[in-house]
Amino acid sequence: MSATAHFHFLRPEWLWLLATVPLLFWLVRMREDVRSRWKGIIAPHLLEHLLVGEKKRWRIRPVHLICLGVALAALGLAGPTWEREKPPFTEEKAPLVIALDLSQTMDAIDVQPTRLERAKLKVMDLLAARPGARTALFAYAGSAHMVLPLTDDTGLFRTYLSALSTSIMPVPGKDTAAALRAVDDLLSREEAPGTVLFLTDGVENAAFGALTKQGAAGKSQVMVLGVGTPEGGPIQAGPGRFLADSTGARVFTKLDIDGLKALGDAGVPVATMTQDDDDVKWVQRKAQSHLEVVEQSDARLQWKDEGYWFVLPVVLLTALWFRRGWTLRWSL
């Protein structure tokens, strides 16, 4: 969200001081207007010949600088602000939790070398795009497990990530809601708002309610990055072997495009994996935007008073009053 959407004044009552600027300018102009002071005493046809030293050309005068100084001082005292003041030692980058689908369908080879290996490569791209940011790793199939808590140790993260495979999961199937509960338990202990990124080839209908509810009410947002192709492919069951049905035919699995579209229509940010880094940029943009929105809405954070920016120009304008010929005479 842009800064102008949050712009306001902390002490708006000082803006009433701006009303004195045109009044001050008018009073000084009336005092310096010789014609208006003498027109009731000297005949108009004589007054025009008696006035000397009038300069028609406009120039900057002391009253202009005084009015400008009063206006700037009023704005500074009103306390303009447009962003909240972050407490010390807080993270500048949103914490990210990656929930990696390790169900058997992630061994499909419709993307090379497999969906799972391609997802791992994409996760590494995400790590490279988030230097210094904390990232956690969860794995899920029929059950959900935390692989690594939030850490900024990229080397450690890569080690754990590379060791993941579908064969290590104790419960087959896919339980996205259980993975979300496990992740939410971790993020609930964090001060900064986080983002949960599911890398999966589909989300079961039973989990739609949990994902949409989390995105609508939770501090953390949920995103889904689809892995696979609509055409699908066979599922590897080992080196040179593929999963087969009871007839001996290879089992093909497709990316659940319709399910992901329905999830996106329900309000959950959804995208599919790309060959370039557009999907990485999409994740980064969404995660950072969510962090900024939540921080701006956090009533516990104070607004930054930006009024001090007006101090220097007011001081410089005040210094001109010591210049000979620039002092304004207030008395008649």
Residues 296-327 pLDDT 10s: 555 455 777 888 888 888 888 777 766 665 55
Q: Kindly give the interhelix angle for 62-78 and 311-319, rounded to the nearest 10 degrees.
A: 160
Residue 173 neighbours by CB under 8 Å, 6+ apart = 103, 141, 142
The Cα–Cα gap between 34 and 86 comes to 57
Tokens at residue 51, please? 């006035």
Most confident segment among 16-25, 63-72, 164-173, 294-303: 164-173
Q: In whole angstroms, what is the distance from residue 221 CA to residue 8 CA?
A: 28
- Phi and psi dihedrals of 305, rounded to 5? -85, 110
Residue 227: the pLDDT is 96
Q: How would you label 231-242 residue by residue, b for 16+ Cβ within 10 Å and e otherwise? A: ebbbbbeeeeeb
Pairwise CA distance, residues 86 & 165, whole Å? 40
Number of CB atoms found within 10 A of residue 179's CB: 27
What the chain holds in terms of domains, given with CATH numbers, is 3-83+303-322 (no CATH), 96-297 (3.40.50.410)
pLDDT > 80? residue 47: no
Q: Is the pLDDT of residue 88 over 60?
A: no
Phi-psi label, residue 53: left if phi above 0, alpha if psi -120 to 50, beta otherwise: left
pLDDT of residue 43: 65
The vertex-228 CA angle with 135 and 132, nearest 5°, equals 15
Q: Is the peptide bond before 80 cis (omega within 30 degrees of 0)?
A: no
CA distance 208 to 315: 60
pLDDT in tens, 159-213: 999 999 999 999 999 999 999 999 988 988 877 778 899 999 999 999 999 888 8
The pLDDT tens digits for 119-128 are 999 999 999 9
